[in-house]
C-alpha cells in the first residue's frame, strides 16, 4: 500500500529500461525500500537497469515483456502482480522514430502506432483488471505534449500519443470510485538517449525533473500534469491558434 506520505511498497515499470521510468523508481527509492518489477525484453540493458536500481536499494525483479507482442501483455502483468500487490504501475515504453519516414513508410508508421497506442491500451486494460482485483493502486501513463496538437514535424508520433492520452483520460473516469488512481504525465522535450543528437527545444527538461513532477502528482493524486508545468499554458495557447497561423510557427 502507498503509505501516508505517498511512499509505495512496490512499483511496476512497464518499459524496464525507460530513463524516465528508472528516474521515477530512483526517486521513490531515495525515500525508502521499494520492491521494483522491471518489465522488458531480456537484454543487457534490462540487466543494467536492474543492477542500477539494486545499487539504489531496490528489491528488483524482472518480467519478460515485449510491447510489440500484445499476446503476452496480460500474462506479463499477471506475473508482475503474482509476487505481491503492486502499488504504482508506470506505463513508460514508447518509440519516437524517424518522423519523416513515419508518414511515408507503412511499416514505420504501424510500428509507432502499435507500440505507442495499441500496446499502451493493451497493458492499460490488463492493469485495470489487476488493480480492481486487489482493490487499490495507481497507474502512471507517460504521455507527451506532442499529443495535444499535431505538428508537421512529428504528427505521426503526436497522433499515437493523442490516442494513448485519450485512453488513459477515459480510464481515469472508469476507475474513479474504485480506489484506483490514474495520473497522465505530459512531458515536453526530455534529454534522454531517445532524443540524443536532436536539436533541443524550449522548456527542455530531464528524466529526473519529470520523475520529481510524477512522484509529487501521484502523492497528491493529481490526474494530469505537465512537465514542466509551463507547458499547460503554452499548449493552451497553441491549441487555439488558427491553422494558417499555426503552420507558420517554429514549432
117 has catalytic annotation: no
For cell 507482442, the residue is: 69
Q: What is d(CA 134, CA 143) in angstroms, rounded to the nearest whole number?
A: 25
Q: How far apart are CA 46 and CA 13, in angstroms?
A: 11
Given the residues 28, 157, 168, 233, the one annotated as active site: 157
pLDDT of residue 8: 97
Please confirm whether the linkage preceding 228 is cis (ω < 30° from 0).
Answer: yes
What's residue 251's pLDDT?
A: 73
DSSP for 32-78, please give it: S--EEEEEE-SSHHHHHHHHHHHHTT-EEEEEE--TT-GGGHHHHHH
Note the pLDDT of residue 28: 98
Say if residue 60 is exposed, middle or buried (CB neighbours under 10 Å; 0-12, 13-18, 19+): buried
pLDDT of residue 249: 85
- How many residues make up the chain in this entry? 251
Residue 2 phi/psi, 5° resolution?
-75, 125
| Sheet with 224-227: strands ordered across | 59-64, 35-40, 10-14, 88-91, 137-142, 180-187, 224-227
Residue 210 sits at φ, ψ, to 5 deg, of -60, -40
**pLDDT score for 198:** 81
Per-residue pLDDT of the chain (251 residues; tens, 9 = 90+): 888 888 999 999 999 999 999 999 999 999 999 999 999 999 999 999 999 999 999 999 999 999 999 899 999 999 999 999 999 999 999 999 899 999 999 999 999 999 999 999 999 999 999 999 999 999 999 999 999 998 898 999 999 999 999 999 999 999 999 999 999 999 999 998 888 878 778 889 999 999 999 999 999 999 999 999 999 999 999 989 999 999 888 77
Domain ranges of the chain: 10-247
Q: What CATH number was assigned to the domain covering residues 10-247?
A: 3.40.50.720
State pTM to two decimals.
0.94
pLDDT value of residue 41:
95
Backbone angles phi, psi at 70, to 5 degrees: -60, -20
Amino acid at each position: 500500500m502507498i503509505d501516508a506520505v505517498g511512499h509505495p511498497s512496490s512499483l511496476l515499470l512497464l518499459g524496464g529500461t525507460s530513463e524516465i521510468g528508472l528516474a521515477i523508481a530512483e526517486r521513490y527509492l531515495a525515500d525508502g525500500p521499494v520492491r521494483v518489477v522491471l518489465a522488458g525484453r531480456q537484454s543487457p540493458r534490462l540487466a543494467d537497469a536492474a543492477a542500477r536500481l539494486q545499487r539504489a536499494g531496490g528489491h528488483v525483479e524482472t518480467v519478460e515483456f515485449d510491447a510489440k507482442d500484445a499476446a503476452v501483455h496480460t500474462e506479463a502483468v499477471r506475473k508482475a502482480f503474482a509476487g505481491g500487490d503492486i502499488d504504482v504501475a508506470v506505463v513508460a515504453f514508447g518509440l519516437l522514430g524517424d518522423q519523416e519516414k513515419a508518414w511515408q513508410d507503412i511499416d514505420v508508421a504501424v510500428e509507432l502506432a502499435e507500440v505507442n497506442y495499441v500496446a499502451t491500451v493493451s497493458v492499460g486494460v490488463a492493469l485495470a483488471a489487476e488493480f480492481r482485483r486487489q482493490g487499490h493502486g495507481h497507474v502512471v501513463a507517460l504521455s507527451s505534449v506532442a499529443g495535444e496538437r499535431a505538428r508537421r514535424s512529428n504528427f505521426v508520433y503526436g497522433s499515437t500519443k493523442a490516442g494513448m492520452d485519450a485512453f488513459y483520460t477515459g480510464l481515469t473516469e472508469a476507475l474513479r470510485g474504485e480506489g484506483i488512481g490514474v495520473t497522465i504525465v505530459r512531458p515536453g522535450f526530455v534529454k534522454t538517449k531517445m532524443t540524443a543528437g536532436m536539436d533541443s527545444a524550449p522548456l527542455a527538461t530531464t528524466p529526473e525533473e519529470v520523475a520529481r513532477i510524477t512522484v509529487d502528482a501521484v502523492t497528491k493524486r493529481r490526474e494530469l500534469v505537465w512537465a514542466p508545468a509551463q507547458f499547460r499554458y503554452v499548449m493552451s495557447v497553441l491549441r487555439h491558434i488558427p491553422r494558417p497561423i499555426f503552420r507558420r510557427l517554429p514549432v
